[in-house]
A and B are shown apart, each in its own frame.
Chain A
Amino acid sequence: GESVGLHLPTLSVQEGDNSIINCAYSNSASDYFIWYKQESGKGPQFIIDIRSNMDKRQGQRVTVLLNKTVKHLSLQIAATQPGDSAVYFCAENRRGGADGLTFGKGTHLIIQP
């Protein structure tokens, strides 16, 4: 079954508001997590990552939070802009090796003007 999943297939937010996209994972051995953004007709684009020894990591307008107790990951986007409209995937790298990533199904972020 799915090791990594997202709670909502679609999230609609007002432009300028903050967005929070959630992800649940089930493999406690996972030690590294990545968020990707995929725009229509394009390949996934790296946004931010976090290791399992961290609880929080910040980038430019984005923050990833990791709660290992409940196996939950979230992506926060501050001051959402029209260009943020895309599908967002969380992915896990279970063993830190090169055996690829396990992706969730994705959340489609829709920006309302």
Chain B
Amino acid sequence: NAGVTQTPKFQVLKTGQSMTLQCAQDMNHEYMSWYRQDPGMGLRLIHYSVGAGITDQGEVPNGYNVSRSTTEDFPLRLLSAAPSQTSVYFCASSYSNRGSKNIQYFGAGTRLSVL
């Protein structure tokens, strides 16, 4: 059981380049989310999905696109990278449970530098 897998682990881009950060989970979780973490900061929500075909914006969505065609995968796309997007990106998934529990399980992160 791999949990949440993120690829690549490290990436360097030039300003204006595009790329896709991959995220896959094998726990059959309905919910998936993307966060970014900047130095000295907590995680901030970029986009999230409550199931295949359904996505919504989080706190800092600008410059990022997502789609959810399957339960397992939730890629994050940067269409035109900017230095302000230099960060560590975390993908998380969680199961739907009765009540309000939303324990999110995180991947190991992708460290992105935009020059």
Q: Which residues of A contact B (CB under 8 A)?
A: 4, 9, 31-32, 34, 36, 41-46, 49, 51, 89, 91, 93, 95-106
Contact = CB atoms under 8 A, between A and B. Distances in A.
B106 A43 contact: yes
Contacts of B50: 97-98
Interface of B: 4, 30-31, 33, 35, 40-45, 48, 50, 56, 58-59, 90, 92, 94, 96, 99-109
B102 A101 contact: yes
Given A99-B58, A101-B45, A45 B100 contact: no
Contacts of A104: 42
Q: Is the interface of A mostly helix, strand, loop or mixed?
A: loop
The 7 closest A-B pairs by CB, nearest first: A96-B100, A103-B42, A43-B106, A100-B45, A98-B31, A98-B50, A93-B102
Q: Which of A46, A93, A99, A100 has the most CB of B within 10 A?
A: A100
Contacts of B105: 46
Contacts of B45: 99-102
